[in-house]
Structure formats: C-alpha cells, structure tokens
Amino acid sequence: MGAVLYSFRRCPYAMRGRMALHASGLEFEHREIILRDKPASMLAASPKGTVPVFITKDGHVIEESLDLMHYALGRSDPENWLGVNPERTKELIADNDGPFKQHLDRYKYASRYEADTPRGAVNHEHREAAETYMAALDKQLGSEPYLFGKKQSLADIAIFPFIRQFSNVEPDWWATTPYQSLRDWLARQLDSRLFLAIMVKHQLWKDDSHETCS
C-alpha cells in the first residue's frame, strides 16, 4: 500500500499538512473525512481522532501536523522552506500554536467555553488578546511579502491557515484592522496556486466500500 492521508478540508492543521505535502511532491492517497463521522480505519491508525493522519508507505503513523510538514519537506524541499531562519520560525509557530490558538478558539467558539453564551457568539476580549500576535506578525512582515523577506518559508505555511480562520470570524472588522501588511500577506496566501491546489474538494472516504462516496 502507498502512503495515505486522512484529512478534513477546513481544518487549519490539515491545511498546513497538505500544503507541505503538495510542495514536496510526495505521492499519497487522499482520504477526506468529516469529523463527526470518523472512519474506523483512521481511528485504528490514530485513536486520538484528529487530523491530519498520515500513514507512510512502511506503515509509520504521523498524527501531528508539524511532524507531517517536517517529514514531507525532509524528503523533498525544493524551495528550501526548512532552511529559512529555523530558530525564529520555531518561535513564531510556538506562539501561533499556543497562546494565539487558545485565544482564537475562545474568540470564535465562545459558547464552548462560557456558560450561558449564545451559540454563534464571539468573545471580543479574546480577540483583543489575540491582536498581540497579529501586531507581532505585522511588524515581522514590515514591507516584505513574506515573514522572512521575499521568500516564502515554513513559517508562512504553518501559520497562514490559522490567520485565515481568525480573519473569517468577523470579516468586516478584519478589513478595518491596522495590520495592513498582515492583511496583504493573507490575501497573497489565499490567492496562491498552492492554497488553491490543496483546497480542491474530495469526495468522502467510506471504509465499508473501500472507495469514495458522496
């Protein structure tokens, strides 16, 4: 059997994994799932039940998105994403995956974390807290197209899907923020051939038929 990827199209973790795989050119079978109906084959490989889940040709299971990015790019990195400022990249991604993601979740899904909060409500205190990271990214960009200058790198790809998610919570507010460099960077990523390629829709994987189904 060849390599297999279990993925959910809109998950930011799965997005960055798919982007690294696409950039690397590695071949794999894409199995699209929905999180409310996870296939038994995926859970057998990775009981924690989150995406992405990547099974290599030799049966090794990779169930963390950053690990998947490093695995793919470690085998083929034609644009040398891994070689661009690795220490600062590690810091930016840690801030993204840690404090920023916590604020993002509580901003977007306020009812999950606060009792008596209406479904669909947002928490502006967490939005304001997340802006610290927005400001840091905007400063990092300056007048350059990417986080480390004119060349895209691992940091851009690892962080972008979460900024996309953040910007989609309140698009009208996002359009008025002072983070012009960050907004331009996001627009550039959204229009990229890489992002458009990994967002192509796939039919859902169904274990019992061993084929895709609608």
Domains, the chain, in order of start with CATH, read 4-79+196-213 (3.40.30.10), 84-195 (1.20.1050.10)
pLDDT confidence of residue 123: 95
Does the structure show a pLDDT above 80 at 213? no
Query: Please, which pLDDT band fits residue 209 given cuts at 50, 70 and 90?
Result: low
165-83-189 Cα angle (round to 5): 25
- Phi, psi values for residue 118, rounded to 5°: -60, 145
Quick count: other Cβ atoms within 10 Å of Cβ 83? Answer: 13
Q: Estimate to the nearest angstrom the gap between the alpha carbon of 162 and the chain centroid.
A: 6
Q: pTM, whole model, 2 decimals?
A: 0.94
Q: pLDDT tens, 37-65? A: 999 999 999 999 999 999 999 999 999 99
pLDDT confidence of residue 111: 87
Q: Structure tokens of 120?
A: 């669909």
Greater model confidence, 210 or 192: 192
Q: pLDDT tens, 71-106? A: 999 999 999 999 999 999 999 999 999 999 999 999
**Contact yes or no for 95/162 (Cβ under 8 A):** no
Q: What is the mean pLDDT of the chain?
A: 95
